[in-house]
Structure 1
Amino acid sequence: MEEDSCRPFMFHSSSYMNGHIGFCGSIKQSPSDFVVTEIDTSGQLVTEITTDLKSKETLSEQLKICRHDCKIPRLSSPELCIEDSALCTAESVPPSTRGVGDFEDKNVFGWQPDKVATLDSLLDNSVCEQLRLFACNTKDTWNSKSEPAVHPSEFSLGPVLDKRTRASLHCAIRQQYPFLSTVTRCGEIMVKANQDYQELCHLVSEEEAYGFLKFLDARTEDTKFTFKPDGNKEHRKKVHHFISRKFGKLVETKSFPDSQQNAVVVVRFRERSGFQKRTNVDRREKQEIYAAFTLRKENLETLEAIGYLSSELGVLSSDFSYTGIKDKKAITYQAMVVKKITPKRLKELGKSIEKKGICVANVHSASQPLRLGQLQGNHFNIIVRNLKQHSSDCSASLKERTVEAIENVKVKKMEIINYYGPQRFGQGQNIQTDQIGLALLNEELVKAVRLFFTPEDTDDPVNKAKKYFLQTEDAKGTLAMLPDFKVREKMLLRALNRYGIDQEGCCRGWLSIPHSMRIFYVHAYCSKIWNEAASYRIKTYGTKVVNGDLIFAEEGTANSSLNAKVHVVTYAEEMADKYTINQVILPMAGYSIQYPANKVGEWYHERLARDGLQACKFRLPALQMNVPGCYRHILKYPHNLSYSFLKDNENEKVTEDSPLEDSVTSLSMSFWLDPSCYATVCLREIMKCDI
């Protein structure tokens, strides 16, 4: 990889952890020189996964047990966690017996207490009380005019294996607390603030928002919801637009005259054949279909490969889930799950996608999607070609320098600074992803769109389309020029064509892109700041653990929030050398993390201020993105490192006694890294050069 000459790279080349001299070489001269294979949570390479009959039978027996276990369990104490979601919480609103507005035909909520389980019957008293407190904190946070105290952004009810119990809990929580939303992740029910409720409260009264969301959740046929009379036509228009944008597939709205110059906005469900409220039995029968597979891609971005697959299968890019983004200029193997597609349909793709550099294997049924970070690590097989010594090094042979560098990391177990690698930022591109992320964080949405469509210095169809858009702002014309696999670009352009290229239109455009893709750019900016902070930390304090550093507390429990697991090193602990540098963590910028209580913390605040950002800036309700932040160890270590020398062009191993000719020798390396660690960063530390 060649470094972008127009823009400094994301970490300082002087920040190395090891004292060896190193050597030079080239990587990724061809995709086969850089092979990445994902390691699943059980420690197995995804290329070795098999779906034998025994495992299928075991799964079948487990499903039978779940179906026949009719008892609804009561849940024990939940776990609190902080993830990429809004830090919101709430005062309990007393349940309404009827709601707001004038309803016809049936009670708008369609709620039958004798037929639906209540929270008291599903949860222990202690869990109910913790849920109530979480709700109170949510509302307190919303109502607070000053910066609120840090509360967990999500509340976990813990694993709930029985699907009927999960369905009952989802309904009961949303009915009692409409300002909260629920989601199931790998069998675990998570409760968080309902951003739609908060946004609606800016347009109508809290009473109306409360009743409207209960109306939506009940989904009772032939019912209507009527907002209070409103004489402001522009305000009614905003209400119509909000409901259409958020719930347009489910309901429709219309204004009717009420009295004098007032009018009311009436909402009703769209007509559907056989429309009826889904029962728990219906939910089981209409479970989502998931197909799991191993994706092999060559010289493609992960999101680009997903774009090809979604186009072939006729599904959305957001229907695919994966554990992480893999390198572009490489051959990579990773686990992936797609919903709404059967394994049979996936297998029918056959050779139609191979010409795109894509192959699917190990296709089998799955019960749920994957989530980011759901892996043990990544295994790398890398060839470094064109080996040579640094220009200033003449005191030893190339072979001696190469062996010295690798053995220094392998045998002495020297750590490397855990930088985010150049592929995180789109290295070599005219506009890097962190620049788009900063524009989004500053809510400069028009600028972010123009950065997104900044072309590279080539004349391929994609870059021609981008140039045309920047010159003309003709979204419709640009759409016709783009190939189908450019899914993100097309989704954004369709929205811009419909809503315009002003601030509001660009906001709609970004919202048209799946959340995982939108947040990718913001995370790139946060990764850049982390890299700079890591360099500053090592330059300022070296490898000594000092007062104010952060580590993960040894006494942290599973039920602790993320910040509760973070310990600030004291002066006494510094003097006693209680901790080592490989325990030190640095925060990824966000609104809910704490910064080091030393010069590094001061650096964070100054650096973010330089970009116009403060902690509260990491909440972006207009884009439905919230970045609470997380923590990352400064140092990491490559596992199971092995190597051998090869003859160029033949890939034939060089024996130990063979002479090493600089012009014809390559280096083969194999190792694995923890999740979110970069092989290019590891190689940089070994070779002592930017690659």
Structure 2
Amino acid sequence: MLRSFSYLTDHTGFCGTIKNSPSDFVVTEIEVTEHSLRDTQAKSLQKPMEVLLGQSSPGLCAQSCDGGGTPVPADQGLRWAGDSCPASPCQNQHESKAELKPGLEDASVLDSLLGKAVSELLNKYACDLKDVWKSKSDANAGTREFSLGPILDKKNRADLHSAIRQKFPFLVTVTKDNEMIVKGNADYRELCQFVTEKETSDFFKFLDAKLENSTFSFEPDGDKEHRKVVHHFINRKFGKLLETKSFTVTDVNDQQNMSIMVRFREKGWSRKRPAGGFQEKQDLYTAFTLQKENLETLEAISFLAAELGVLPSDFSYTGIKDKKAITYQPMVVKKVTPERLKEIGNKMEKKGIRIHNIHSACQHLRLGQLKGNHFDVVVRDLKHHSHDSSADLKKRISEAMENVETKGFVNYYGPQRFGQGQNVQTDQIGLALLNEEMVKAVKLFFTPEDTDDPVNNAKRYFLQTEDAKGALVMLPEFKVRERMLLRALNRYGVNHEGCTKGWLSIPHSMRIFYVHAYCSKIWNEAASYRLSIYGSKVVEGDLVFSEETDETISLNDKVHVVTAAEESAKKYSINQVVLPMVGHSIKYPGNKVGQWYHERLSKDELQTCKFRVSPLQLNIPGCYRPILKNVQNLSYFLEGSEKGIEIEDNYLNESKVSLHISFDLDPSCYATVCLREIMKCDF
């Protein structure tokens, strides 16, 4: 899948084999420790939360734990979209009327950060703006901006962002090339049309404070249509960050009334309300470490789900791990007790699964709890490349390690994302789904490999006969996805409508996996093209990601298009350049790479694709991925054919040594891609 793609470094490399056995490739997920999570929570009170383009990914493309507290009384009848229970014992549901951040409520903070003269000018600008708004003499009045000048220190900028918005919630602050600019908040002005200015001011202070588990309540409002307007406004403007709910309150006259309450939306929660409305009992969560060998993550989950009598979607995890490896990763399963999980341990071991560290949990896993992955890899059958005349293999290994440790590697998606070695790769299925070719996608899904085993025999039979029921009888129980699809096809038929319902019968995470595989393939090709025509130079039109701390700015606004002047000044490095994962909410580079994207999508007949497959409830907003990544904590040693004997000689006997490499990678990085850069060979 990566053959002929660009390399970053220019060393010669060497040959060898990986994954000779699962024990040669051990992956251990690096969790954020409990201490680090507490630190993250504390910091979240000091800076705004990030608003992403519909999906979370570390840094660009991919989050907290709840603390103890007092639950909301159940008799208020408050229910939130996606809640599993009225109040989890691990959740703090205290209300907050827009508490000010410590130290920011004092005007002297602005004086100290800006100087008294500029602080007074800012105060005058704010007062003048409010006067213009109140006059309503001109629809475009009050649109002028106020510059605070360049603020070079990032911490000072962060403090200023917070201090200004807390003192003047009707203002917003943005940064352009270190220059801080203040302007009127159009959303604040619009909300003032529906509720009082005091409520508007308190709401925006609450929004800026981002206090975890805090809530904000508007004044009681008996007008249902008016409440609907407020609900719609908040959902339209802040729906990715906030959720709202009307609930019954008792006003000052002891009369029953309705009020709108707002709280921060937990990432990963469903927007859909459970069909039964109020759920009688709290959901049960059990955490554990999954050790698997020679199994895909989704396949292991299918085994566990079938044995426990739950759905695959009841498991939460932070990443898909290699199949041909021994992998360790934290998981949480819903609706299963620790005792029940322990009971199935022996049976799972026969399938290559071991379950460790079983304990009760408060909630499902979230992406923020993944710090990265640690890899312990053994490379065997070491030898020179056929074109390499050097006799010093040890020197080749040393220079390769040093080069990649210093310069990094191209951040390609690894071959396992596409179904390495399969007749039909996952990206082909994803393309068919994006084109809404449902029957074609099903046929691709059931394309067999060239082996004679129960799974492939069942697939072969289905393609030849379209007899879903007969194929279902032949297919082993552990093939959960295939069985779900065949049941639906047996019920609805192997036509467009039946295949659409078939795809809907498997979990959303599995459906979208194929589409993401296609998007990953396009990204890989784009990265190789970008490096082939521009190399490591940052050029006009490239996209770079800003490290600005103002988190209220959307992800797209953080992605900056490099100008000609910035190219001449060499303002940015190649490590800051990102490329988009295709989707409906991203922007493309403003150079030949952007043109390449459009031509490439046209080639697959996706030139008008909106990256929303409504019949399958798939929404692909897109994100951004750095072209390059660095490896951390890289170490290695050479070992003789007799285990435990390290090699000290300058020259190696190729057939009798193996290379042991240990390193850490960020989330969503692939060890096989890093090894490809080190060795200069494809796997």
- On whether the aligned pair clears a TM of 0.5, the verdict is yes
SS at match of 1:394: coil
Is 1:591 matched with 2:584? yes
Q: Which residue of 2 aligns with 1:72?
A: 95
Q: Displacement, 1:485? A: 0.9
Structure 1 segment 97-496 matched on structure 2, within 5 A? 120-121=218-219, 132-133=232-233, 135=235, 154-157=239-242, 184-185=265-266, 278=278, 283=279, 286-372=281-367, 374-410=369-405, 413-496=406-489
Change (3 A) 1:185 1:614: farther
Q: Displacement, 1:495? A: 0.8
Letter in 2 for 1:481: M
**Distance in 2 between residues matched to 1:363 and 1:556, nearest whole Å:** 38
Q: Displacement, 1:560? A: 1.8
**Distance in 2 between residues matched to 1:70 and 1:549, nearest whole Å:** 44
**Distance in 1 between residues matched to 2:476 and 2:575, nearest whole Å:** 47
Change (3 A) 1:494 1:571: same
Matching residue within 524, 530, 533 for 1:537:
530
Matching residue within 566, 571, 589 for 2:564:
571
**Distance in 1 between residues matched to 2:323 and 2:21, nearest whole Å:** 11
Q: Is the 8 A contact 1:619 1:625 kept in 2?
A: yes
Q: Displacement, 1:40? A: 1.0
Letter in 1 for 2:327: T
Q: Which residue of 2 aligns with 1:679?
A: 671
Q: Which residue of 2 aligns with 1:506?
A: 499
Q: Displacement, 1:489? A: 0.4
SS at match of 1:652: coil
Q: Displacement, 1:651? A: 2.9
Q: Is the 8 A contact 1:288 1:339 kept in 2?
A: yes
Q: Displacement, 1:556? A: 5.3
Q: Which residue of 2 aligns with 1:670?
A: 662
Structure 2: 5+ residue stretches without partners? 37-63, 74-91, 100-164, 173-189, 195-214, 222-226, 249-257
Q: Displacement, 1:392? A: 1.3
Q: Displacement, 1:366? A: 1.3
Q: Which residue of 2 aligns with 1:552?
A: 545
**Distance in 2 between residues matched to 1:63 and 1:307, nearest whole Å:** 33
Structure 1 segment 72-91 matched on structure 2, within 5 A? 72-74=95-97
Q: Which residue of 2 aligns with 1:20?
A: 11
Letter in 2 for 1:652: G
Change (3 A) 1:373 1:63: closer
**Distance in 2 between residues matched to 1:26 and 1:122, nearest whole Å:** 69
SS at match of 1:395: coil
Is 1:638 matched with 2:631? yes
**Distance in 2 between residues matched to 1:356 and 1:167, nearest whole Å:** 49
Q: Is the 8 A contact 1:11 1:535 kept in 2?
A: no
Q: Displacement, 1:372? A: 4.6
**Distance in 2 between residues matched to 1:484 and 1:129, nearest whole Å:** 51
Letter in 2 for 1:619: R
Change (3 A) 1:184 1:363: farther
Q: Is the 8 A contact 2:71 2:94 kept in 1?
A: no
TM-score (structure 1 length as normaliser): 0.69
Cα shift readout 1:409-462 (whole Å, capped 9, x = no counterpart): 23xx11200000000000100000000000000000000000000000001100
**Percent of aligned positions that are identical:** 61
Q: Is the 8 A contact 1:291 1:337 kept in 2?
A: yes
Change (3 A) 1:405 1:474: same
**Distance in 2 between residues matched to 1:530 and 1:35, nearest whole Å:** 27
**Distance in 2 between residues matched to 1:303 and 1:32, nearest whole Å:** 20
Cα shift readout 1:463-498 (whole Å, capped 9, x = no counterpart): 000001001111111111111110100111111111
SS at match of 2:322: coil
Cα shift readout 1:178-216 (whole Å, capped 9, x = no counterpart): xxx999536x9786xx8xxxxxxxxxxxxxxxxxxxxxx
Is 1:36 matched with 2:6? no
Q: Is the 8 A contact 2:27 2:375 kept in 1?
A: yes
Q: Displacement, 1:342? A: 1.0
Letter in 2 for 1:407: E
Letter in 1 for 2:489: L
Is 1:689 matched with 2:661? no
SS at match of 2:682: coil
Cα shift readout 1:379-432 (whole Å, capped 9, x = no counterpart): 00000000000111113411111112112223xx11200000000000100000
Cα shift readout 1:516-560 (whole Å, capped 9, x = no counterpart): 000000000000000000000001111010111111123352222
**Distance in 1 between residues matched to 2:468 and 2:526, nearest whole Å:** 39
Q: Which residue of 2 aligns with 1:258?
A: none
**Distance in 1 between residues matched to 2:568 and 2:645, nearest whole Å:** 50
SS at match of 2:96: coil
Q: Is the 8 A contact 1:183 1:189 kept in 2?
A: no
Q: Is the 8 A contact 2:240 2:265 kept in 1?
A: no
Letter in 1 for 2:4: H
Change (3 A) 1:306 1:403: same
Letter in 2 for 1:677: C
Q: Is the 8 A contact 1:324 1:373 kept in 2?
A: no
Q: Is the 8 A contact 2:372 2:664 kept in 1?
A: yes
**Distance in 1 between residues matched to 2:372 and 2:655, nearest whole Å:** 34
Change (3 A) 1:382 1:130: farther
Q: Is the 8 A contact 2:545 2:578 kept in 1?
A: yes
SS at match of 2:610: helix
Q: Is the 8 A contact 2:379 2:659 kept in 1?
A: yes
SS at match of 1:310: helix
**Distance in 1 between residues matched to 2:559 and 2:441, nearest whole Å:** 34
Change (3 A) 1:190 1:453: closer
Is 1:656 matched with 2:648? yes
Q: Displacement, 1:73? A: 2.9
Letter in 1 for 2:312: S
Aligned residues between the structures: 515
Structure 1: 5+ residue stretches without partners? 1-8, 46-58, 80-90, 96-116, 138-151, 159-164, 170-174, 195-216, 218-246, 251-274
RMSD: 3.5
Change (3 A) 1:587 1:128: farther
**Distance in 1 between residues matched to 2:246 and 2:457, nearest whole Å:** 50
Q: Displacement, 1:72? A: 3.1
**Distance in 1 between residues matched to 2:666 and 2:489, nearest whole Å:** 40
Q: Is the 8 A contact 1:42 1:376 kept in 2?
A: no
Change (3 A) 1:431 1:62: closer
